[in-house]
Structure 1
Amino acid sequence: MIVGLTGGIGSGKTTVAKLFKTFGNIAIYHADDEAKKLMVTSKTIRTKITKLFGVQAYDTEGLNRAFISNIVFKDKNKLKQLNSIVHPEVKKHFKEFVALNLNKDYVLYENAILFESKSSLHCDFIITVFVDLETRIQRTIQRDNSTKEAVIDRMKNQYLEDKKLLQSHYVIYNFDLETTKIQVNKIHNILTEKMF
């Protein structure tokens, strides 16, 4: 069983994923982290990104994130092209991950752009993490040491929250950790058909 976990930037998906990690027999796939790794390790991706953005796309540290982010969050077409390079490879990698974890109760698939990348179509259930817009902006500014303008630019490339909520089986309202823990436990118990 594949359970999608998504939510807008700054909603607290990573925190929620960490709470799910405390349950023994599940596997968690972090699409963003794996995509970042693949952008450095996959020769296919590296060649295509260099072709799209030029040699500046990679530096001695690996992927030149600042350079690429500066372009894609201002140019939707470039972002679309980048996604069309990275997403097929991530999907392939995820399929391999699922095959290796068939013995688990379920695979939790954390993906910020679950709907946008159409990965939601491969999920049996979808959980969206929700918090109000201002909280999301403040959390992201603090986390990424970013500006409000930069955060809003990134948000423009994600689905609107109500669109995500309408397509989700479960919603976690992530305003404080204790309440979030209770919601995570409840959903896990439902997913594993345990009594609580």
Structure 2
Amino acid sequence: MLRLGLTGGIGAGKSEVSRLLTGYGAVLIDSDRIARDVVAPGTPGLAAVVAEFGPEVLTGSGALDRPKLGGVVFGDQDRLRALNAIVHPLVRARSAELEAAAGPESIVVHDVPLLVENGMSALYDLVVVVDASPETQLDRLVRLRGMTASQARERMAAQATREERRSAADLLIDNDGPLADLEPQVQEVWRELTARAAARSRAGRAAEE
């Protein structure tokens, strides 16, 4: 198994890279999706969040009110740490279950938005960073996601810098241009990943002989 950590700043295009890699045969483990699943209604995760933050972080239907919770933790490091202490262990446990089910020959892509911010590079065999300039990120967030420029800049400022992400990369994908320029780069990354996975498999078999 080859374990890949995929990350990138908000608006850099990481989700499109995930989609392409999955199409080539990668097993995707999406930490954002798992983070939503572990606090779905009826889960122990949601019960723990309510115990910590109060029932006011629920919607009328009993689901987690993400904007309201975000308003509580955004800008308050103590409250953010309290939330992370609940959610992160649940995400790690579920990710481990999914990875174990993938099979020993798989290329497993962990889509982790805050990989650099949380110092997680050492958890993976390789780190792939999807890179875009701050100007491109801002344009996409405003034009495609409907954020105001101020909202977009706040989100970007809360993440690692471009330089910090680039310094963590074993492989870098430049997504500063049009979508047509992205797929050839992802294909090249996939060739690199399959070559490394095959070499690792051969080394493992040799060690067993």
TM-score with structure 1 setting the length:
0.90
Counterpart contact for 2:4–2:109, Cα < 8 Å:
yes
Q: Aligned-pair distance for 1:109?
A: 0.6
Superposed CA RMSD in Å reads: 1.8
**CA displacement, residues 42-83 of structure 1 (integer Å, 9 cap, x when unaligned):** 733212211232101122161101101222223233222212
| Stretch moving more, 177-186 or 70-79 | 70-79
- Unpaired runs of 5+ residues, structure 1, are none
- Equivalent pairs counted in the alignment come to 193
Is the alpha carbon distance of 1:161 and 1:98 closer, same or farther for their aligned partners in structure 2, counting shifts above 3 Å? same
Larger Rg: 2
Counterpart contact for 2:8–2:129, Cα < 8 Å:
yes
SS at match of 1:193: helix
Q: Percent of aligned pairs with the same residue? A: 26
Counterpart contact for 1:31–1:90, Cα < 8 Å:
yes
4+ aligned runs moved over 6 Å, structure 1? none
Amino acid at match of 2:186: V
Asked if 1:133 corresponds to 2:138, the answer is no
Distance (Å, rounded) in 2 between the aligned partners of 1:41 and 1:171 = 38
- Unpaired runs of 5+ residues, structure 2, are 197-209
SS at match of 1:96: helix
Distance (Å, rounded) in 2 between the aligned partners of 1:118 and 1:31 = 15
Q: Give the match for residue 107 of structure 2.
A: 106
Amino acid at match of 1:105: S
TM-score with structure 2 setting the length:
0.85
Asked if 1:29 corresponds to 2:29, the answer is yes
Amino acid at match of 1:36: R
